[in-house]
Amino acid sequence: MGSAIGFIGAGNLAEALIRGLRDAGVDGRQIVATNRSRRERLAYLRQAWGITTTPDKGEVSAAADVLVLAMKPADLDQAMRDLQPHITDRHLVISLLAGVRCASVERYMGERPTPVIRAMPNLSAAVLASTTALAYGRHASPERRTVARALFDRVGDTVEVSEDVMDAVTAVAGSGPAYVYLFMEALIEAGVQAGLPAEAARDLAIQTVFGAAKLVKETAADPADLRRRVTSPGGTTNAALTVLEARGFKLAIADAVRQAIRRAKELGR
């Protein structure tokens, strides 16, 4: 990548992106990170991933053409007040903040036509398997959009969406890995309760989820069709799915997504 990348915020998602970018071949000297107060966190990221860190947002702005807002939504106002004097027309601002629209970030720029792009990756960026949705602010030119896509293409798949659906993206793809991890936890615990050694139950659950996702991705098959192919009438899978359906499995997922969307909207306000 030609431009240095500056992370404003150094939490779990920022680290996942940093790790992914480093594994994808981005030079650590092209990545700089800062956060509000946790200096030990910056020291850890510097040592773990060979990047540059600084407590000074002005230094990040001077070093990087791409600024990635990775703080909590509640910290946006203070972060942008600190950054605003240092942002110039050469910068591209990419916001990872759940619920925060491009226009909310653009307001801090005043009349300056700084391009703002909203992105929602997930923690799988750490292993180059994220899915990232991008939505564009009013000053995001085709050239700046290409820069953003190139960044996130390095850590997984990238799609472009209308900003009106970004809260849904957050609920499905941003928060989605947690739903899968919860399912895996339950599957492992059920296996152990059924008599499997803990390590075997873990290995079986991990490979089962991985293989199922890989089959869908590589065949482009409909998950519903694959489910039907696994499910024989009167068989063990049918018995298990009958329980999940009776317990409202799909309804619970739908309710979870709706609740995540509601929370994203609250954070945006």
On whether the CB atoms of residues 131 and 124 are closer than 8 A, the answer is: yes
**Segment 178-209, tens digit of pLDDT:** 999 999 999 999 999 999 999 999 999 999 99
Same domain, 183 and 79: no
Same domain, 9 and 97: yes
Q: For residue 183, what are the domain limits?
A: 176-268
**Segment 62-71, tens digit of pLDDT:** 999 999 999 9
- Model pTM? 0.92
In a domain, 171, yes or no: no
The total of structural domains in the chain comes to 2
Distance (Å, rounded) from C-alpha 135 to C-alpha 145? 9
Residue 53, pLDDT score: 96
At residue 160, what is the residue type? E
Sheet containing strand 156-160, edge to edge, reads 52-53, 31-34, 5-8, 66-69, 92-95, 116-120, 130-136, 156-160
Same domain, 13 and 123: yes
Cross-strand pairs, 132: 158
Same domain, 88 and 145: yes
Same domain, 209 and 252: yes
CB-CB neighbours of 140 under 10 Å = 23
Residue 263, pLDDT score: 95
Same domain, 132 and 199: no
Print pLDDT tens along the chain (269 aa).
447 999 999 999 999 999 999 999 999 999 999 998 888 999 999 999 999 999 999 999 999 999 999 999 999 999 999 999 999 989 999 999 999 999 999 999 888 899 999 999 999 999 999 999 999 999 999 999 999 999 999 999 999 999 999 999 999 999 999 999 999 999 999 999 999 999 999 999 999 999 999 999 999 999 999 999 999 999 999 999 999 999 999 999 999 999 999 999 998 87
